[in-house]
Structure 1
Amino acid sequence: MPVITLTGIGFAPGISLSSTILIFADQLVGTTSAPQTVALNNGSGTSLAITSIVTSGDFAQTNTCGSSVASGGGCTISVTFKPTARGTRTGAIIITDSGSGSPRTITLTGTGAAPVVTLVPLSLSFTGNQTVGTTSMPLPVTLTNSGNATLTITSIVASLNFSTSNCGNSLAAGASCTISVIFTPTMPGLLTGMVTITDNAADSPQIVNLTGNAIEIGPAVMLSPLSLTFDGQPLGSISAPKTVTLTNTGNAALTITRIDPSGDFTRTDNCGGSVPKGASCTINVSFAPKAIGTRAGAIIITDNAGGSPHVINLIGTGTPSGPALSLSSTSLDFGSQPVGTTSVAKVVTLTNNGTSTLAITSIGNGGDYAPPTNTCGGSVAAGASCTISVTFTPTATGTRNGAIIIADTAPGAPHAIALTGIGTDFSITPPPGSTNTATISAGQTATFTMTIAPSGGFNDTITTGCSGAPPGGACSVSPSAFTLNTTTKITITVTTTARSNAVPVSGPQGVPPHVAPRLDLPWLLWLLAVTSLGSLAMFGRKRASLAFGMTMLLALLCLGCAGGAGAPAPVGPTAGTPPGNYAPIVTASTSNGFSHSSPLSLTVK
């Protein structure tokens, strides 16, 4: 009968750990290992409160336990190892909780790994005398990686007069290699040097010190000093000479073929065509700068000694003689600027570093840049400064280049300040397939869609608005504000008000509207006057008074009837949006006033 073998990890009732010991493999010092995990299981039947989980040594932990573990639940503790030194490293995790057996301990151990460089010997001395220009037999240096990690070798470099072979790019733990060092002197005398080894060991770089003695067969050249430095020298002038001594330290006469200066330097010498053994001569060097700033050159000596040609390195600084112009900046970048708007001015300081007045003929410009303003006038005194200001008004999108050209009397004229900026813009148009026209009846709403598209890298906050709504209507835009850095759709809504015809007010149901005769006050006064005069003429004063009273009563009754007995006058038409063609305008603008508008066409029937 087949047998199936099963294995697993059982957790006894209570609180348990899947492991109480973690062992980490070798880990490079200063680096962090992959995590190992321990499971904590709560089989106690009650919730387990976690007070603390603490690590020690070169170890760290994270966990999913939180402040408690429910009955029947569990959590994991992840542990990493970051050794601070080579060799065995130990530590522990201490878990303090509310269960029996607390605190619980997980023992931790790991090995810190690091390469260690051992050099034998630490110095080399080439015995005997080595002829200048010839190569010695190699001397070995053994490099051993006595650590417990691979040694990575970056470079093995020898100094002047010495050279080496190398050990490759890496050396396994416990392995060795041989560095071969040879001595090839370029001059006579006791010479010293070193081999420098750069690697990933803690004490990198390591040094092997070198010495060797060189002799010359035939002539030998020794120069003192090997280089000259000249302080600031005005243009058009020549410095006092500086001296180099050439000594023939060999055992035969030195034949000199040429002594040539280069750069802004001149020389005189008393060496002639040859220098006897043990003798010396002098070379005098002067500096005559042809331009302002650092000037380099050399004296090149061609002879029959080893190492020919021999070189004396020269350096000097040319300073102004007369006016000299310097600028605080030779280029200005205005960044992004909306087309047709003007930037904030940028300023460059011009200084006359020379010894006499600088005359300025003109300061001009080109491109999308305003003619510069300046405080320089026609001249700038020696040691004085002035400012040049310029603004940028792009005429198109994209990069816009220009320059300020300064015509003056200083060396290097004309001088230029490079100008650059980027023109940006945006447009408002109907999207493809849409129109900016609409026809509606009064009381209806028209909706338009437009797109606002940036160009030239435009990126700014846009505020939208609408004006020119028809009478009795309104116009709005959504969204009303946003950052424009990509093509964005906006919706314009135009509302109108419906119109209505006149409506008469009816009387009681079934009874046509009644309009009473209207009696005006002037008519009544005329009636009273006529009645009074007629009564007086016909009936005398007594009867005339009675007639006047009757007339007044009749007038009052008529006014009362006219004011309240009739129906109200008919109501006129509602004043809605009149028919016609309207042109609302949608506008998009930035906070600094840069804006574009686009008209809409609306017909109201």
Structure 2
Amino acid sequence: MVGGLEGARDGIAPLSPSGDADRIQPGFVKDPAQEALAAKMKSGTFQLFLNFGEPLKDSNGDGIPDLSIANATQEPGLSGFALADVTLTLHLGAKGPFFTGIHDINLFSRVDADRGLATFVVPFEQLLSSLTPAERSAMDQGDGTGRLFLWAVSRLYGDRDRVPDTNDGGEPSVRTEVREFGFPLADLSTTPSLDYGDVRIGRHVDGPLTLCNHGARPVEITQIRLPDSTLTVPLQSPFTVPALGQFQLPLRYSPTAHARISGNLTVETALSELNAKISITGRGVAPILQVTPTSLDFGSVPVGFSSEGRQFAIGNVGDAYLDATWELIDPTLQFSFGGYIPPSGPHPFELYPGESDEVRLTFTPAGIGPMEGTFRIVSDDDRAPQVDVRLSGQGTPAEPRIYVTFVDPIQNVPIGGEGSSVLHIQNWGSALLEVGSVVSSSPLFSTSLSRSSIPSKEWADLVVTYHPVVWGLETTTLTIPSNDPTNPTVTRMVSGQAFEPPPEIHVSPVLLDFGTLHQGSSATLSFDVSNTGAGPLRLTANSPLLTSACNAQTDLSLPATLLPGGTLTAQVTLTADIDKSFCFILFYTNAPGTPYVTMELRATILSPVLYLTTDSLSFPETRIGSSSTVLLKVYNDGQEPLIISRATYLNSPFSLATALPFTVSPYTSGDLPFKFSPTAEGGWGAAVILRTNDLRQRDVPLYLYGFAFSPPPSVKPLILGN
């Protein structure tokens, strides 16, 4: 059971009470959980709350517990602050009946100007003695412990007063008769800061700016200096904050631009030491609706057709959330989302800052003439709360549209007979399609149209008949005229092939053996392709017929057709090249069982093959006037003699020590000697080109290096005389 006294804020230095906390009787336990909010100063009223062991009641919902002491009158002579008659209201809840009594209590106050304090004294002993035994008994009822603790707790001054009472027949033991509670003469505190956050431009937010006077005398506010023109206060200076009271100003922030405010609001008083600064922050924000473009012209569209899509973008380029609705206003239902017509009325949507969306519409005219609609956007953008996108289009008379299908070739038609295929001519337009006379470019193909007038969304059959007279594939071009203004003439290719008995192929020889050839020499052979079947033989091939891996040519020209009993003779010329000897001919046929024919070209190519172990020679140091010789090992890995016939760029002091030509027999080697005969000292070098009969290595580079030195001078002996 706790009572308490508390001011509007903590942190004021305590005034020592007249009693001693150490004199509290043992057994009175300090319970921090019971130290609820104990006292408040509000509108110049001092309130003392007593709590009897349970949460305080608030029967009228004014935020003040029912048990309180409040001043009733003002007494002159205390600079505007005094307490006289006191009203005591007790609401004990489950502890006892509701009780109200008015008691005159000796209450006095004083002002200590030197200490800057105003003091009032509450005589608790007299307060308790004014209760009747019945009232005291009612207060003890239901306590359960046989004790009643009246705690007058002052968080403001850091001490607590406890007056114990018992219901055991003994008299109350009053340990603390008087307590003094002091207040400064002048003490002003304010809301430390106000952050308005994001506030919509064109609107306002009132911030709770509270001025609290914890002193015993009123504080005069001489001026409030605002850090920004978007801030206003609904009160002219000067004004007064009453003693032990508070004053709340609805500081209004009304942003007018996309900008941030940050600064200090200064509260100036008659006493400069009481001046206060309050940090003010906030940002003006607003959505900005952007629609581009604001008109869509769908052009001319025939009745029954839909236009291509046209789109516009809806974006929020502001810095606040955009809340909006869209509505497609089109009583004749000619504008749609690609054929989808939404329900009438507005439809909500939202856009975050920086977000955008695209709207794509089509136009399907219901009649002839100019047509209009509106796409309306209503949003909370105060700058442009409604944006209309104008929709327009021109309806023109209905038109037909032609489409002709494609067909596969007409096949296996006997010569002298006929075969047919069907093309469909479709009208996907909105008017009657009139088809004219169909023309065939080949007399072997005839046509027949089921009907020339085709209603909208229907089709007609175009029968094409092939009358073959010879074997082979025949093609015709059909020209189909109509009254489609966008495609008045349509052409289609149709092919036909007569029934053909199977051919039979015979190739002789399949292997072309050119025998033995010297490298670079050529030889020519021929082969025959015969058709011994009853139908035409068709020959095809890839291009080129001979690949780059073979040094050969042929006069065989494909594709070609051989009638029954026919023979085709072709020649092949092979030029011997040891590096291009992978030779074959591949072609395809329509003969059953022989889809392709592969012919091999074979030859034995004779050629020398040069191999050197090095591409440079280094001579030993050679004295001027003498010479040295180095041998070049030359290998012939081929079947023909290797001949080195010339050495180009071989200049003094380098030379060959043997005459050319230099010959190396097949599958042997030889030593080609080079000589170095220097005439001056120093380093020498040469790049020589050796010409050979190896067609793969006609010119072979060889690098020569040598160093020459002078002989030492001769010494004549010295003869000494007697």
Same fold (TM over 0.5): no
Of structures 1 and 2, the one with the larger relative CO (CA 8 A, separation 6+) is: 1
Who wins on radius of gyration, i.e. which is larger? 2
Taking structure 2 as the reference length, the TM-score comes to 0.25
